[in-house]
Amino acid sequence: MKIVIYDPVGFDESQIASIRSAAGANEVVVSSKEQLATELEQAEIFFGFHPPEVFQHAPHLRWIQVTSAGLDQILVPELVKRDLLISNASGVYAPQVAEQAWCLTLAIAGRVPHYWEEQKQHNWQAVDRIDLDGSTVGVIGLGGIGRRYSRVAAAFGMRVLAVDLHQPPKPESVAELWSIDEIDQLLEQSDFVLVSCPYTSETHHLINADRFSHMKSNAVLVNIARGSIVDEHALVDALQSGSIAAAGIDVCEQEPLPPESNLWEVPNLVISPHCAGLSPQRMQQMADFFIENLGRYVAGQPLMNLVDQQLGYPVPAQV
């Protein structure tokens, strides 16, 4: 059995050594981008990330373990029809992404962007902050990131509402858990809204002009999922018109965000450059995850994070 590894970030020597040890007598090849198509010709397993066109060169491929949580760049029809096993990184980076969601939330609530500008002007000028205690947060997508964010929110004294595409067990930190059909009700009650659901054709522009009309004028939107879940034109309009108070985003519809984008200049918007998962521990965590899943694959056991390719993400029981 041949295992091919390629990832743009890359694994260090100790991580590769651990994978080789776990693979036993099986061949492990760390490929360059230029050699990837050739190396995949005899491969059974691919571990890493690359756009899907390269897999047309891999007739013996049975399992793809990607190093990303989002699958919008992978699940093209040509690949789905091959009935391969595909698993993703859902939950692997949940601690870091949830922390980034809270960085954006707290920066906005504490008026950090305002004070940063005042500091540069040497101005000592206080403004009212946004209280977390006693407020309501709506979480759209109660996966690993949503659950972690919810626990912290409850510790801050916030009331947590959540909607999910499925019906996971309701955590203690969540006051109400509804189906995704109740999203408008969630938006109408929420002072803060976290977008943490998978991106699929069904969630494309889930947050659009109509949904912004259901939000409070003092509401804060935070998106750490995928940029295309939020209609950016509607977001700009909502912020410019004051129909919501502020937003924090780690993801955009087009990345890198073009210099001419209106998002750069829109008021009350905090942007980070899709960096939520960029932890120093990221690749070690991913290598450890792959090693555990490799053991499952060899033993014929169910894989962790096995993707339902029709839904576009792992079903909850497998996350």
Q: pLDDT digit string (tens) for 24-83?
A: 999 999 999 999 999 999 999 999 999 999 999 999 999 999 999 989 889 999 999 999
pLDDT tens for residues 234-244? 999 999 999 99
What one-letter code names the amino acid at 45?
I
State residue 16 phi and psi, 5-degree precision: -65, -40
β partners of residue 5: 30, 47
The pLDDT value recorded for residue 167 is 81
Confidence at residue 319, expressed as pLDDT on a 0 to 100 scale: 41
Nearest-5° Cα angle at 33, 27 to 38: 55
Q: What are the beta bridge partners of residue 136?
A: 159
pLDDT digits (tens, 9 = 90+) for 5-31: 999 999 999 999 999 999 999 999 999
**Confidence (pLDDT) at 318:** 37
2-6, strands of its sheet edge to edge: 27-30, 2-6, 45-48, 63-66, 85-87
Query: Residue 316: what pLDDT?
Result: 61
Instruction: Indicate whether this model's pTM tops 0.85.
Output: yes
Q: Give tens-digit pLDDT for 98-151.
A: 999 999 999 999 999 999 999 999 999 999 999 999 999 999 999 999 999 999
Q: What is the pLDDT of residue 317?
A: 45
Which domains, from first to last, does the chain contain?
A: 2-92+280-318 (3.40.50.720), 94-271 (3.40.50.720)
User: Buried (b) or exposed (e) across 15-52, using 16+ Cβ within 10 A?
Assistant: beebbeebbeeeebebbeeeebbebbeebbbbbbbbee
Question: Which residues have a catalytic role annotated?
Answer: 226, 255, 274
